[in-house]
Amino acid sequence: MKIAKILIVLAAAVMLGSPSAARATIHDQESTPPAPKADKEKTADKEKKAEKEKKPKKEKKAKKKSNVPAPDEGPSATDTDAAPPAPADQLEPESTGTRVTWKQHPSFRIGSAFRMDFQAKFQEDVRDTYVGEPELARTDLHRNRIGVQGRLFKHIEYEVERELTEKELDAGRNPKSPWKDVNVDLTYIKNAQVKIGKFKIPFSLDQLTGVTHNDFVYRSLGANYLAPSRDIGVMVHGSFLKHGLQYWSGVFRHDGDNARSSRIEGGDQTVAARVTGTPFRVMTQGLGEIELGAAFAISQLSDDSFRPNGLRGRTIMTQHMFYEPVYVKGERRRWEADVDWTAGPASARAEYMGVTDDRQQQGIGDDDLPDARARAWYVSGTWLLTGEKKERPVKAAGDFLQGGWGALEVGARYERLWFDSVGGTDLPSRNPRAETILPTADRALTLGVNWTVNRFIKVQINGIREQVEDVERNPVPGGAAFWSRIVRLQFVL
Amino acid sequence: MGSLKHSWNTSRGLLCALCGLCVLLGSLLAPALARAQDDPAGALFDDGTLHDIRLTISPRDWESLKEHFQDNTRYPADLRWRDVTARGIAIRSRGNGSRSGSKPGLKVDINYYSADQRFLGLKNLILRNNTQDASNMRELLSMKFFRRMQIKSPREAFARLFVNNVYAGLYTIVEDIDKDFLQKNFNENDGYLYEYDFDESTRIPYAFEYLGSDPDKYVPLPFKAQTHETSPRADVIERFIWTVNEAPAASWRQRMDEFLDLNAFMRYLGVENFLAEEDGLTGDYGPNNFFIYRFENRNLFTFVPWDKSNTFWASPDYWIFRNIKDGPENFRNRLVLRALTYDDLRDEYLNTLLTCADSALEDGWLEQEVSTQYDRIRSAALSDTIKPFSNEQFEAAIEDLKTFARNRSDAVRRMVAEERPQP
């Protein structure tokens, strides 16, 4: 909690001291374009620049397909690190009155005072896995989201997004909400913007990458089961040094959708902070861009529920529970470090994260138990065979439906998610009040091909080889490794 | 010198005697030891003893289990019987009508958290709460009588349950019907075991009628697979039920031979109805409370009795054709009805009833058993303050059992005689 207090004080200090800094940042932004960056925020920044540059040479730019932003390229409702859309007066200063346009998205605008962009994201899967998996639906309407985002006057941005088909919406006493990002971002102070509502807790590079921008069909195991994901809260965020240093810091009601389910209550009050930077920007010119990130989050854990309230581990596609939650109480501490490298058509990412949960009075005799611990890492790499510059989302040089080939990319990811306890003298056991938790892990290799057909459509093909290290909790008899295969069709409007 | 020699001879004699005694003791004890090794749980199911079972569980979990007794949530606990302890086992609330928040019936999963863990060689145990039986005794007596009549049934014994060293009531330890049971009783365990699962939500009975050719109409409801869960071969059940209902009369017996030993089935029915089972194969709510097991590499099924807490029902005059010749049409067991149209099977049924009558009366076995078990559990039952019955109700239920045991045989003989044409 000390760290939480320090964070709040720091955030308050940033807010109080921000006007001059804000002016400086605005000046920087206007005078110097932001450094190229592979994710959404960078894309949005570039979009601003492109739009500014485009105005005097509008016709010429329009011919160049690759410069047309993809529909999911703007600040997404799913990306916590997404930058705000360009100020209305910068985008179309000459436009007045009420109008409907369709550039990136269908958009309704009233002069420069109001803007509402309509968005939709559809991801439909065909998949297969090991023989004997009875639960897996071979076809899955995986995600079908609709939403709006936009701006009110110059400095109030908003987004609302709702999932139409997600599972677990009505099961149990603590279901997931169909509402995804529902928030308002106040951008009066550029390096101390304030976001209020429901959005992603700033933790984990992979979790914060937009759902339609991922290099693989599924996020990494750590991002899905250890990182918190969305919750309701207040966050201060901004950037310094021409986006060379960015930060996000907030307080949240709980500890995110990933930590809870219909049977798991999840953590309570959470304080989280994340910082990213490009410290080698000068040194690595010509070698692409390397961005480093780190984050931590601290949550409170209660044992009010009669069911265990710890984290769970499930396999990637089949979601077989290979690690059941244990009873926890006290504090949950998360931390992570990540690196993101992009150079021309290639990219690489790596991330390591850890979580420890207190287990105060959780023994069979109400005794304190050693902390429960979960850790995860992954390394991944991608290569655009068709030569485009790696961005998220990828922009195909030639639209397939207009005579081009789209963009073809290959990728691989290797990862591990594992659970145990910190110490303990008893014999290791799987029971949720065991003093020494019997370690278990899932190790996975994902091989993938992504075909970006055009700005709307992407096809992803992944083969995933998994092996659960605890034989008894492996879904395949004998503890053998198993393959899962999936083809995902993505359509983004 | 002579004294020394005498002493040596004496010692040698003693040594020989000691060796002889050891050999004698060894030969006497060897079979018992072999049996104990064969069946380490035998002592736990010894119904000649009132056992003590001790559970250590987080007090919060115990309260939670009672509060959420309708859930099947498992809680970790330690189990102790005599000096044998199993750590990190799982318990959960169990039962249908017997589920209770004050005195929960318990399923004890010994190997839930560790597949290799065993307790006296067992993977599971049931601690039955007897909340539907004021006497606490119907279940145990019934299963014992089934075994007496050579029908495979779970072993049972009474136990005082202590939870965190606090007396939690009188329970019955029940052997679970699982692969261990199959191995012990049928010398194989890789066949297909199904529990008949009465649909409590709809309470619509399933009376062995043919539901169509779709195997999914039979598994998991009303037949819930207990082995081969991912590949339960419901198609064989579908063909079995089709044969019961649809096979032509001319070939019915021959076709049924593939699926059921009908004579054994009539003996099962005879024993159950001698015991006046109100919630069994021909129960008041449609068929209920049984497992069926299909033997390895065959389509032959056999029935195994389960949950006999509604036996000794009403009075010694409980009719042997209840819900067969009377009762709602849709509750009547199609398999029983069709089998009884054959004279030899009907005779098998009636003869079994007479055999039961003789066996129950032989040296006053049934009444004696009631009295003996009553003496064993009386103190534990009276001090069980959590039971849903008063002590007076307990005593009255025991008296009813004694009356039943004393008079049932004569009543059954009379009813059988009425059924048979007089010479």
Q: Look at A431 and B78 and tell me if their CB atoms are within 8 Å.
A: no
The predicted pLDDT at position A51 comes to 44
**Whether A472 contacts chain B with CB within 8 A:** yes
**Whether A478 contacts chain B with CB within 8 A:** no
Distance from C-alpha of A333 to C-alpha of A358, rounded to nearest angstrom: 9
CB-count burial class (<10 Å; 0-12, 13-18, 19+) for B6: exposed
State CA B42 to chain mean position distance.
Answer: 15
Rounded to the nearest angstrom, the minimum Cα separation between B251 and chain A is 38
Tokens standing for B262? 């009908």
Say which residue, B3 or A60, is predicted with more confidence.
Answer: B3
List CB contacts of A307: < 8 A, sequence separation 6 or more.
Answer: A263, A264, A265, A325, B73
Per-residue pLDDT of chain A (493 residues), as tens digits, is 444 444 443 344 333 333 333 333 333 333 333 333 434 444 444 444 444 444 444 333 333 333 444 444 444 333 533 444 444 444 454 557 899 988 778 999 998 899 999 999 999 999 999 887 777 888 888 889 999 999 999 999 999 999 987 654 443 334 567 889 999 999 999 899 999 999 999 999 999 999 899 999 999 999 999 999 999 999 999 999 888 899 999 999 999 999 988 888 899 999 999 999 998 877 767 788 999 999 999 999 999 988 899 999 999 998 899 999 999 999 999 999 999 999 999 999 999 999 999 999 999 988 999 999 999 999 999 999 999 999 999 999 988 988 899 999 999 999 999 999 998 888 899 999 999 999 999 999 999 999 999 999 999 999 999 999 999 889 988 889 999 999 999 999 8
Stretch B290-311: mean pLDDT? 97
Dihedral pair phi/psi, residue B70, rounded to 5°: -80, -15
- DSSP state letters, B105-152: EEEEETTSS-TT--BTTBSEEEEE--TT-TTS-HHHHHHHHHHHTT--
ipTM entry: 0.72
Q: Give residue A94's region: left, alpha or beta (phi > 0; psi -120 to 50).
A: alpha
pLDDT band of residue B423 (cuts 50, 70, 90) is low
Please, which residues 344-383 of chain A have a Cβ atom closer than 8 Å to chain B? 362-366
Q: Which residues of A touch B67 (CB under 8 A)?
A: 306
Nearest CA in chain A to B109: A431
Q: Which residues of B touch A306 (CB under 8 A)?
A: 60-61, 64, 67-68, 73
Amino acid at B311: T
Give chain B's mean pLDDT: 92
Amino acid at B372: T
Q: Look at A306 and B60 and tell me if their CB atoms are within 8 Å.
A: yes
Q: Look at B88 and A134 and tell me if their CB atoms are within 8 Å.
A: no
The predicted pLDDT at position A41 comes to 43
The predicted pLDDT at position B17 comes to 64
Distance from C-alpha of A430 to C-alpha of A420, rounded to nearest angstrom: 10
pLDDT digits (tens, 9 = 90+) for B340-362: 999 999 999 999 999 999 999 99
Q: Look at B58 and A366 and tell me if their CB atoms are within 8 Å.
A: yes
pLDDT digits (tens, 9 = 90+) for A236-288: 999 998 888 999 999 999 999 999 888 888 999 999 999 999 988 777 677 88
- Could you say which DSSP state residue B286 is in? B
Query: Who among B57, B68, B73 is closest to A364 (CB)?
Result: B57
Dihedral pair phi/psi, residue B262, rounded to 5°: -65, -35
Q: Look at B76 and A134 and tell me if their CB atoms are within 8 Å.
A: no
Q: Look at A306 and B61 and tell me if their CB atoms are within 8 Å.
A: yes
**Whether A134 contacts chain B with CB within 8 A:** yes
Distance from C-alpha of B240 to C-alpha of B234, rounded to nearest angstrom: 10
**With contact defined as beta carbons under 8 Å apart, do A424 and A435 qualify?**
yes
Nearest CA in chain A to B115: A472
Q: Which residues of A touch B113 (CB under 8 A)?
A: 429-431, 434
Rounded to the nearest angstrom, the minimum Cα separation between A227 and chain B is 27
- Could you say which DSSP state residue A386 is in? T
Q: Look at A364 and B113 and tell me if their CB atoms are within 8 Å.
A: no
The predicted pLDDT at position A176 comes to 66
Query: Who among B57, B88, B115 is closest to A434 (CB)?
Result: B88
Q: How far is CA B259 from CA B242, B256, B292, in A?
A: 11, 5, 11
Asked whether the predicted pLDDT for residue B127 surpasses 80, the reply is yes
The predicted pLDDT at position B21 comes to 62
pLDDT digits (tens, 9 = 90+) for B369-413: 999 999 999 999 999 999 999 999 999 999 999 999 999 999 999
Among chain B, residues having any CB pair with chain A shorter than 8 Å are 56-61, 64, 67-68, 73, 76-78, 87-90, 113-115, 230-231
Dihedral pair phi/psi, residue A154, rounded to 5°: -85, -30
The predicted pLDDT at position A33 comes to 30
The predicted pLDDT at position B422 comes to 67
Q: Look at A434 and B56 and tell me if their CB atoms are within 8 Å.
A: no
Q: Which residues of A touch B59 (CB under 8 A)?
A: 366
pTM of the model: 0.77
Query: Who among B56, B114, B230 is closest to A134 (CB)?
Result: B230
The predicted pLDDT at position A78 comes to 34
Look at the block and give the residue holding tokens 């699982």.
B178
**Whether A94 contacts chain B with CB within 8 A:** no
* Three-state secondary structure string covering A200-241: ECCCCHHHHCCCCCCCCCCCCHHHHHCCCCEEEEEEEEEEEC
Please count the other Cβ atoms lying within 10 Å of the Cβ belonging to residue A397. Answer: 18
Which candidate in B56, B74, B75, B92 is best for mutational testing of the A interface (most A CBs within 10 A)?
Answer: B75
Q: How many beta-carbon pairs under 8 angstroms link A with B?
A: 46
pLDDT band of residue B18 (cuts 50, 70, 90) is low
Tokens standing for B66? 């009672």
pLDDT band of residue B8 (cuts 50, 70, 90) is low
Say which residue, B126 or A401, is predicted with more confidence.
Answer: B126
Q: Look at B114 and A132 and tell me if their CB atoms are within 8 Å.
A: no
Name the strand (E) or helix (H) holding B362.
Answer: none
**With contact defined as beta carbons under 8 Å apart, do A227 and A299 qualify?**
no
Q: Which residues of A touch B64 (CB under 8 A)?
A: 306
CB-count burial class (<10 Å; 0-12, 13-18, 19+) for B317: middle
Rounded to the nearest angstrom, the minimum Cα separation between A473 and chain B is 10
Please count the other Cβ atoms lying within 10 Å of the Cβ belonging to residue B94. Answer: 18
**Whether A416 contacts chain B with CB within 8 A:** no
Which candidate in B69, B113, B216, B231 is best for mutational testing of the A interface (most A CBs within 10 A)?
Answer: B113
Rounded to the nearest angstrom, the minimum Cα separation between A206 and chain B is 33
Distance from C-alpha of A401 to C-alpha of B371, rounded to nearest angstrom: 89
Stretch B321-338: mean pLDDT? 95
The predicted pLDDT at position B10 comes to 60
pLDDT digits (tens, 9 = 90+) for A316-339: 998 899 999 999 999 999 999 999
The predicted pLDDT at position B77 comes to 95
Q: Which residues of A touch B90 (CB under 8 A)?
A: 431
State CA A135 to chain mean position distance.
Answer: 27
**Whether A306 contacts chain B with CB within 8 A:** yes
The predicted pLDDT at position A12 comes to 40
**With contact defined as beta carbons under 8 Å apart, do B239 and B212 qualify?**
no
Query: Who among B56, B67, B231 is closest to A364 (CB)?
Result: B56
Which candidate in A130, A306, A429 is best for mutational testing of the B interface (most B CBs within 10 A)?
Answer: A306
Asked whether the predicted pLDDT for residue B293 surpasses 80, the reply is yes
pLDDT band of residue B27 (cuts 50, 70, 90) is low
Query: Who among A134, A362, A364 is closest to B77 (CB)?
Result: A364
- Helix, strand, or coil here: A320? coil
Nearest CA in chain B to A470: B114
- Could you say which DSSP state residue B308 is in? -
Q: What's the angle, vertex CA A159, arms to CA A153 and CA A160, rounded to 5?
A: 135
